[in-house]
């Protein structure tokens, strides 16, 4: 094991974490502002990936695909908000879980009907193929671009929420929805916008990840569940918490899968070591979540009561 | 206890219907029908377990499939070791259902005690996400642990045995499942009528007041959560024997969702709600699954419309709202 290999795995973890952040940001925003738990967020991730792969396949242009993926996810998000979610804001969490579980069934089967049962593949754009030398190790340019894109979106989101009038309204909506409605803000339109924004971020993550894995029905749910872990760790409703949680989960998961089998190999025979290492590595982020729950039951960055 | 004649009548119809249709299928020689009804009984049993946590205690566990799956693995691992003579941590295998059932329940209960001890520190939306995440953790452990089949699952070559019954015959296995389901429903009724059940339901409504009169909500909730998981674990052992396969898919997150769906479709907290819900879900799959491969789309639509516009489930629809006497 060399420092170069370790560094490469760390970057992979960083990239995975930033993609998780794109998913978690929308999820935590929707919960913070509307008080809604949305299981169908993973379906929006899938929609982004499918529309990106299909549009890129048709036009031969990755960037058009990326735009199509984000637009499709945002449109699907807005449509879902207007038709279904709006009726759920005042319901209890059980109703929200069930309705959004039903949406997963509908959206997954709908995607299967629309795009067929087989996985789609998305090529890395020519501009971003190849590797760059980062001193210690050559690293795929596309994955580096994912890191840059993730950081860029995080910065943009921070500016949007912290520095614009729209961001003030979103934060006000988190605190007191009646009051800002009374002050003349169109709260319905604001909710639709926040939901579509979260959906677009999920769609963007799906489209970006689509070039490094196969695009298939059901790809959203494993990411969704990890995003839940992220926002439980970070504190539900906190964007900053989502960022810290996503990076922790991404790096620990990736490094655990890489390092644990090697650690076990020090005192177990090789065949058992890889099995035990892999099994423990797959549980690592959940153990981290349990640990943080013991120390900070409301997450690392708890949002006001 | 609800004082409601229509609900008693509906319960009788559900209990007897679940018994008489397979009996008719037995005479008519349709083992497929018996197997479908065995699945209904097993899913209903799993949901009766969840109904204690969710219906009585208001704990929305989105990870109950994990206890269902663990019960299945107990049956599978015990049968495998009885078959090949090896041991599990020094414990010999078994192929007796009367031995496997208590072990499945204990294993599920112990796991629930650990998961519950962490999850019940939180409530609401946190609790939903955390139970889901822990269930996913065990699921990933099961598929990455190669000793017991990993992703492929664990086949049970010969169904485990019950004294005096040939469990390979569909009707015999069905009647075992039906009896266990009725016992579990009886246990649910006893719990609901007990002081423990009263405390549990009071905690669902207002934990602070319960704490103020000197009852610790945490202990009561944890006990209910463990009992709930034990019943679901028993159902998992039965399911593994029915399909002769202990599958990691039994603890996938979709299974947790389906267990909640069964309870909601039937009627949350109602005695026979799980039976009605399981009959609808399995019936939907058998009938529409034969017509179109996209039956899940229609299931999703029905479920969505039920949640948005028809709250209370089937039992409420037929027997009216629960009256507290």
DSSP of B197-214, one letter per residue? HHHHHHHHH-HHHHHHTT
Average pLDDT over residues B139-168: 86
> How far does B175 lie from chain A, in Å, by closest CA?
32
* Rounded-to-integer distance, Cα A204 and Cα A48, Å: 6
Strand partners, A120: A215
Which residues of chain B have a CB within 8 Å of the CB of A237?
none
Query: What's the confidence (pLDDT) of residue B265?
Result: 87
Closest CA to B153 of B167, B166, B138, B142: B142
Considering only alpha carbons, which residue of chain A is nearest residue B138?
Answer: A283
Average per-residue pLDDT in chain B? 90
Average pLDDT over residues B84-108: 86
- Higher pLDDT: B318 or B111? It is B111
Considering only alpha carbons, which residue of chain B is nearest residue A83?
Answer: B308
Its sign, for the CA torsion A294, A299, A301, A305, is negative
Query: What's the confidence (pLDDT) of residue B325?
Result: 40
The pLDDT > 70 percentage for chain B reads 97
Is 80 exceeded by the pLDDT of residue B311? no
Structure tokens at A64: 């058009």
Query: Cβ atoms within 10 A of the Cβ of B309, count?
Result: 8
Query: What's the confidence (pLDDT) of residue B307?
Result: 87
CA A241 to chain centre: 14
**Of A71-75, A200-204, B113-117, B302-306, minimum mean pLDDT range:** B302-306
Domain limits at A30?
A: 3-295
Cα of first residue to Cα of last residue in chain A, in angstroms, is 47
Query: What ipTM score was computed for the predicted complex, to two decimals?
Result: 0.87
φ, ψ of residue B92 in degrees (nearest 5): -70, 160
Q: Please report whether residue A301 resides in a domain.
A: no
Q: Are B215 and B198 in contact (CB under 8 A)?
A: no
Structure tokens at A87: 């009726």
Q: Which helix (H) or strand (E) holds A65?
A: helix A62-83
User: The CATH number of the domain where A53 resides is what?
Assistant: 1.10.3470
Query: What's the confidence (pLDDT) of residue B111?
Result: 97
Which residues of chain B have a CB within 8 Å of the CB of A286?
133-134, 136-137
* Rounded-to-integer distance, Cα A20 and Cα A249, Å: 8
Q: Please report whether residue A302 resides in a domain.
A: no
φ, ψ of residue A190 in degrees (nearest 5): -60, -45
* Rounded-to-integer distance, Cα A179 and Cα A167, Å: 16
Q: Please report whether residue A305 resides in a domain.
A: no
Considering only alpha carbons, which residue of chain A is nearest residue B310?
Answer: A95
Confidence of residue B257 (pLDDT cuts 50, 70, 90): very high
Is 50 exceeded by the pLDDT of residue B247? yes
Which residues of chain B have a CB within 8 Å of the CB of A236?
125-126
Whether A225 has its CB under 8 Å from any CB of chain B: the answer is yes
Query: What's the confidence (pLDDT) of residue B2?
Result: 47
Q: Please report whether residue A29 resides in a domain.
A: yes
Place of tokens 């497929």: B32
Query: Which residues, 6+ apart, have CB-to-CB distance to B82 below 8 Å?
Result: B92, B93, B94, B95
Is 50 exceeded by the pLDDT of residue B290? yes
Chain A residues 284-303 with a CB less than 8 Å from chain B: 286-287, 289-290, 293-294, 297-298
Name the DSSP class of A131.
E
Considering only alpha carbons, which residue of chain A is nearest residue B146?
Answer: A275
Whether B126 has its CB under 8 Å from any CB of chain A: the answer is yes
Q: Which helix (H) or strand (E) holds B112?
A: helix B97-119
Query: What's the confidence (pLDDT) of residue A133?
Result: 84
Query: What's the confidence (pLDDT) of residue B64?
Result: 96
- Split into its structural domains, chain A has a count of 1
Asked if A104 and B300 come within 8 Å (Cβ–Cβ), the reply is yes
Query: What's the confidence (pLDDT) of residue A96?
Result: 92
Which residues in chain A show pLDDT less than 70?
A: 1, 304-305
Q: Please report whether residue A115 resides in a domain.
A: yes
> How far does B158 lie from chain A, in Å, by closest CA?
28
Structure tokens at B81: 């070791």
Q: Please report whether residue A303 resides in a domain.
A: no
């Amino acid at each position: 094991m060399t420092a170069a290999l370790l560094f490469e795995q760390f970057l992979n973890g960083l990239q995975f974490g930033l993609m998780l952040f794109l998913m978690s940001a929308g999820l935590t925003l929707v919960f913070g502002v509307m008080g809604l738990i949305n299981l169908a967020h993973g379906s929006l991730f899938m929609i982004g990936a499918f529309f990106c792969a299909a549009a890129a396949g048709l036009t031969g242009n990755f960037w058009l695909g990326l735009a199509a993926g984000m637009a499709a996810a945002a449109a699907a998000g807005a449509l879902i908000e207007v038709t279904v979610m709006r009726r759920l804001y005042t319901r209890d969490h059980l109703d929200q879980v069930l309705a959004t579980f039903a949406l997963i069934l509908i959206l997954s089967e709908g995607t299967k009907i629309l795009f067929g049962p087989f996985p789609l593949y998305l090529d890395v754009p020519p501009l971003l193929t190849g590797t760059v030398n980062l001193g210690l190790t050559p690293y795929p340019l596309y994955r580096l671009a994912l890191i840059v894109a993730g950081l860029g979106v995080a910065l943009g989101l921070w500016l949007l929420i912290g520095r614009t009038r729209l961001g003030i309204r979103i934060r006000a909506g988190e605190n007191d929805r009646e009051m800002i409605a009374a002050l003349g803000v169109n709260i319905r339109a604001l909710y639709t916008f926040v939901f579509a924004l979260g959906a677009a971020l999920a769609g963007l993550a799906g489209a970006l990840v689509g070039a490094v894995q196969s695009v298939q029905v059901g790809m959203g749910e494993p990411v969704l569940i990890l995003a839940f872990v992220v926002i439980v760790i970070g504190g539900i409703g906190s964007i900053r918490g989502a960022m810290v949680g996503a990076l922790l989960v991404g790096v620990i998961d990736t490094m655990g899968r890489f390092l644990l089998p090697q650690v076990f190999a020090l005192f177990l025979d090789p065949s058992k070591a890889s099995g035990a290492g892999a099994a423990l590595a797959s549980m690592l982020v959940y153990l981290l979540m349990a640990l943080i729950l013991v120390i900070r039951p409301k997450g690392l960055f708890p949002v006001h009561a | 206890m609800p004082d409601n004649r229509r609900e008693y009548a509906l319960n009788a119809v559900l209990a007897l219907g679940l018994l008489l249709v397979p009996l008719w299928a037995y005479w008519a020689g349709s083992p497929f029908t018996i197997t479908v009804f065995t699945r209904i009984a097993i899913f209903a049993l799993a949901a009766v377990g969840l109904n204690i946590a969710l219906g009585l205690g208001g704990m929305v566990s989105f990870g109950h499939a994990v206890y269902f799956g663990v019960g299945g693995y107990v049956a599978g691992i015990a049968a495998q070791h009885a078959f090949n003579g090896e041991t599990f941590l020094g414990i010999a295998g078994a192929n007796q259902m009367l031995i496997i059932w208590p072990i499945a329940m204990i294993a599920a209960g112990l796991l629930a005690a650990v998961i519950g001890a962490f999850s019940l520190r939180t409530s609401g939306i946190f609790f939903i996400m955390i139970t889901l995440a822990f269930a996913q953790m065990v699921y990933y452990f099961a598929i990455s642990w190669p000793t017991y089949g990993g992703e492929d699952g664990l086949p049970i070559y010969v169904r485990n045995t019950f004294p005096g019954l040939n469990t390979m015959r569909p009707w015999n296995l069905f009647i075992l499942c039906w009896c266990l389901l009725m016992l579990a429903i009886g246990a649910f009724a006893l719990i609901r009528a007990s002081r423990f059940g009263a405390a549990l339901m009071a905690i669902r409504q207002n934990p602070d007041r319960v704490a103020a009169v000197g009852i610790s909500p945490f202990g009561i909730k944890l006990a209910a959560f463990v009992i709930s998981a034990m019943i679901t674990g028993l159902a998992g052992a039965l399911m593994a024997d029915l399909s002769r396969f202990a599958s990691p898919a039994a603890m996938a997150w979709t299974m947790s969702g389906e267990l909640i769906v069964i309870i909601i479709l039937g009627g949350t907290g109602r005695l026979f709600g799980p039976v009605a819900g399981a009959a609808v879900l399995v019936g939907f799959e058998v009938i529409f699954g034969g017509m179109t491969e996209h039956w899940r789309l229609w299931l999703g639509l029905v479920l969505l419309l039920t949640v948005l516009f028809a709250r209370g489930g089937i039992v409420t629809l037929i027997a009216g709202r629960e009256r507290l006497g």
